[in-house]
Amino acid sequence: MDNRSQIREFLTSRRAKITPADAGLPSYGTRRVPGLRRTEVAQLAGVSVEYYSRLERGDLSGVSDQVLDALARALRLNDDDRTHLEDLARAAGPVPRRRRRPAAGVRPSVHRLLDSMTGAPAIVMNGRGDILAANALGRALYAPMIEAARGKVPNHARFIFLDDRSRDFWGDWEHAADTTVALLQAQAGRDPYDKALTDLVGELSTRSEDFRIRWARHDVRQYHVGTKPFRHPVVGVLDLTYESLDLPADDLTLVAYGTEPGSDAEDRLRLLASWAAETPEPQRARTDQA
């Protein structure tokens, strides 16, 4: 990934989202592009136009935390955007620190943890959205994606943008697509030296217009908590909550799913567990291609 291009396009895209009225500034003259002008961002951030222009050209090297704070306020960055800006600035340093490569496989202790979670679907992912491991219920939940991978490592983005079956699997395909690309953008900021991520983005950009449109927005998102609607081919609609747990020793994330007590989803999840117990498991996600 080209760090300077990422910085330039991210700052430009955030600037385009804010109108003068949003920022409490008067609007005057004809605007050739939406959003704030560079001069207005510089004014709001309390820096010179020349300095801000340098930043927006992609040069965040040596920028202070105070300037990052000022930019975040001026551009109204949310927490995920602010974290992404910090990642981009870190990578732009004079000696950028490469992130430790994720483990080549999922450790046995993590597999044991997954297998102990018998009542909730759970998966382990890397920052590219590869499913590297799952418990029995997780494999049942993600059976369409695992089967579509045909023995390769299942990947969220490839399934969403390159397999039409994903539109039946996700209860809200548009939201799933937006979120997946935003997660990849955040990963690109954290680790611009990830060749596998660069290759994935290149493949998807070449083969999917839906992906190209979303990638150009430069929206970012981190793993947190939330809800996901699934349309499972066996049990139907499943509205599941999820919690993400970082595994910092491996640079991986464990995602566990649950339901609201007494909900229809809780009954359907029990039905999925029964189906999983009575049916040969889909092929286990491989762990040798992290």
Residue 126 · residue 183 · CB < 8 Å: no
Class level of CATH domain 3-91: mainly alpha
Which residue ranges does the chain devote to CATH 3.30.450.180?
108-278
Domain with CATH 1.10.260.40 in the chain: 3-91
Sign of CA dihedral 118, 119, 123, 124: negative
Residue 123 CA to residue 141 CA, distance in Å, equals: 10
> Average pLDDT per run of 10 along the chain, which is 290 residues long?
91 94 83 86 96 95 94 95 94 64 79 94 96 96 95 96 97 96 95 93 98 96 91 95 93 95 94 89 43
CATH code reported for the domain at 108-278 = 3.30.450.180
Cα gap 213→120, rounded to integer Å: 34
- Please give the pLDDT value at position 289: 40
Sheet-wide strand order for 236-247: 131-134, 122-125, 252-258, 236-247, 225-232
Question: How many helices and strands (H and E) does the chain possess?
Answer: 15, 5
What one-character-per-residue DSSP string does 16-34 give? HT--HHHHT----S--SSS
